[in-house]
Amino acid sequence: MKDQLEKIKQEALSRIEASDALEKLNDIKVAYLGKKGELTTVLKSLKDVSPEDRPKIGQMVNDVRALLEEKLEETMTSLMRKAREEQMKKEVIDVTLPAKRNHAGHTHPNTIALEEVERIFVGMGYEVMEGPEVEYDAYNFEKLNIPKNHPARDEQDTFYISENIVLRSQTSPVQIRAMETGKLPIRMLAPGRVFRSDEVDATHSPSFHQIEGLVIDKNITFADLKGTLAEFARELFGPETKVKFRPHHFPFTEPSAEVDVTCFKCGGSGCRFCKGSGWIEILGCGMVHPNVLSMSGIDPNEYSGFAFGVGLERIALLKYEIDDMRLLYENDIRFLKQF
């Protein structure tokens, strides 16, 4: 038994010294110290040894086990250290190489324009409200004084999901929903995406953004509307900006008007940007039609109000002198990084 233990010890030590990989050490550990290892087999055979020799043989087995475990641990530590040193040599950083640039994004020009418009109106006491892009026909048209077969529907031809559900062609439905709550007075701004059946070109898109405002209170007049939009124009385009109101027709307002501002490039003297007129059209507006107030549960004899709407893309195109609306949606980094 003694000779067998000595042979096992020498063979194991020899294999441990020759090992050059952690996997091999694990195989050696299993072969000699595992449940079916050679030392375990020797221990199981102690029952065949005479009682007086068992303690001596048992001690010898334990000494060999302890020695092999110590050698295995030492060799494993050495191999792990060498592997780590090799890895560090391979992963060394050359500090003389140029650093990788972090290409951080930034705000889209549409968002920049929207945040500026919101800042102006929030400063006047307006609340920013949102509504669904998929809307009922009743909110998108009928409650805005545009019944079925009304010619104004042709100008706002949109996408129908069903007979009574559409993709909204304006953010005015948000105004109707606000009026129906019955919480008066109202001073609100409704920005959002809208949809119309338009061909894509430099100034049109089937999907674009609109910002609409609404004020409902007692004794609201057209003078309040003019003063509000004049202040908005001065804040957005500069303190010298003037506004001009031209009569127009919108089914949901009466009277209605288109609003022009003096060209911020030439100051109104006429240039290529304003096509020589000195004026640039920016939005439509008017006093809320009494029928719209009535359909929303508001007494037109007690309350009045005004509404206005402006295309967000139009504001961005004018403010940043962009000549093609499609540039805002093409995600060309060469264009977007200018902002």
- Asked if residue 258 lies in contact with residue 143, where contact means CB atoms within 8 angstroms, the answer is no
What distance in Å separates the CA atoms of residue 283 and residue 81, rounded to the nearest whole number? 74
Q: State the burial class of residue 117 (Cβ atoms within 10 Å of its Cβ: 0-12, 13-18, 19+).
A: buried
**Extended beta strands in the chain, E state:** 127-128, 134-136, 165-167, 186-195, 207-217, 243-250, 253-262, 279-288, 304-311
The CA radius of gyration of the chain, in Å to the nearest whole number, is 41
Which residues have a Cβ under 8 Å from the Cβ of 64 and sit 6 or more positions away?
5, 8, 9, 39
pLDDT at 152 (0 to 100): 64
Residue 101 pLDDT > 70? yes
* Confidence grade of residue 44 (pLDDT, cut at 50, 70, 90): low
Q: Are strands 134-136 and 243-250 parallel, antiparallel or unpaired?
A: unpaired
Residues pairing with 305 in the sheet:
216
- The predicted model scores a pTM of 0.66
- Asked if residue 178 lies in contact with residue 129, where contact means CB atoms within 8 angstroms, the answer is yes
What distance in Å separates the CA atoms of residue 272 and residue 120, rounded to the nearest whole number? 28
Q: Count the alpha carbons within 13 Å of 93 in the hemisphere toward its beta carbon.
A: 3
Q: Which one-letter DSSP state was computed for residue 289?
A: P
Choose among 36, 35, 17, 31: nearest CA to 76: 17
pLDDT at 155 (0 to 100): 62
* Confidence grade of residue 339 (pLDDT, cut at 50, 70, 90): confident
HEC profile for 81-111? HHHHHHHHHHCCCCCCCCCCCCCCCCCCHHH
pLDDT at 215 (0 to 100): 96
